[in-house]
Amino acid sequence: MSRRHYNLPPLTTLSAFEAAARHLSFKTAAQELSVTPGAVSHQIKALEGELGSALFERRHRGVELTANGHALFETLASSFGRISKRLEIIRENGAAEKITVGSTTAVAALWLSPAIIRFWREYPDVNINQITQDFPFNARADVDFVIRYGRDRNSPLHHRPLYRDELVAVGTPDLAQAYANISLVDLAQERLIHLDSDARNWTTWSEWFQQLGFDGELSVGSRVTSYSVALQLARKGAGLALGWRRLVDPMLKTGKLAVIGQHRLPAPHEFHLVEYSSDTSSSSAEILKSWLLSEVPGGSV
């Protein structure tokens, strides 16, 4: 029996699996592929039959990837991304190169966008697109690299360390003057602005206090889902935010915010530049990566 050159299953089964794994939904995958959910299910069953391994766990309210399914999805997502990038380069055929960078809205507003503006002064002909979202970036073909806090240990993507930040309490300059020597016990009773984020690796107030040796109760304060909103409330005197020192440095320098007290904690994780399409990176993308890495000499605050 003749074998396919790369010994791959039919690409239709791989495409159906990748879409279903990305959405964790046969129905949503079917809508994307313009087929029926039954067709997607049939393709995935055919793929599982050829591989001799289950790729999904079927549950009452949906599906979850098995260990083999997760490993295959990571490989396909990365491979499809590289193929898509190469096809885009071929289509453009010498047109101006575009670079797409992803980050959270806070990282974009406080660090990445100002850095890109400085980059443009040196490289005005490079086109850079930014995608911002306050939930984790999954593998996607339209992104060259992402600025990410913390490292995904299960990801095959290349993580280049950028810097390790420092966590401090921030509020208005008046509060900073009044609370110059505030204790952790008293600080815990101030109105704290808590950030509820889908990214579970962001440090919380509770974790900050615990790492500094305080295990008592914290004030209820207020809760927000955007770091930019947390900083805005702190600027207006509505409470104290947990400040990422390098990110909020421009606001500290202009006096919009000030560090409260003497308590400081090195961030548990580093910020990384995560390469989503390293195999087909354009020369402009490589220039931007190197430039961003040079923006943070020493890798620490």
pLDDT in tens, 218-263: 988 899 988 889 999 999 999 999 999 999 998 999 999 999 999 9
Residue range 139-155: average pLDDT?
Answer: 78
CATH 3.40.190.290 for domain 166-266, yes or no, is yes
Tell me the per-residue pLDDT of 87-125, one tens digit each, with 9 for 90 and over: 776 666 555 567 889 998 888 988 899 999 999 888 888
Tokens 């039954």 locate to: 38
Measured between alpha carbons, how far is 89 from 101 in angstroms, rounded to an integer?
A: 17
Tell me, yes or no, if the two domains 96-164+270-299 and 166-266 fold the same way. yes
Q: Model pTM greater than 0.85?
A: no
- Whether 301 and 164 have beta carbons less than 8 Å apart is answered as yes
Higher pLDDT, 253 or 300: 253
Strand partners, 194: 223
Fold entry, domain 11-89: Arc Repressor Mutant, subunit A (1.10.10)
DSSP β-ladder status, 241-244 and 166-171: antiparallel
The full set of domain ranges for the chain reads 11-89, 96-164+270-299, 166-266
pLDDT in tens, 5-62: 678 898 999 999 999 999 899 999 999 999 999 999 999 999 999 999 999 998 877 7
Question: Is it the case that residue 265 has pLDDT exceeding 90?
Answer: yes
* Topology, domain 96-164+270-299: D-Maltodextrin-Binding Protein; domain 2 (3.40.190)
Cα 4 from Cα 126, distance rounded (Å): 41
**CA atoms of 269 and 267, how far apart (whole Å):** 5
Question: For position 207, what pLDDT does the model report?
Answer: 94
**DSSP conformation class of 299:** G
Q: 107 near 199, Cβ under 8 Å?
A: no
Q: Is 127 left (phi over 0), alpha (psi -120 to 50) or beta?
A: beta
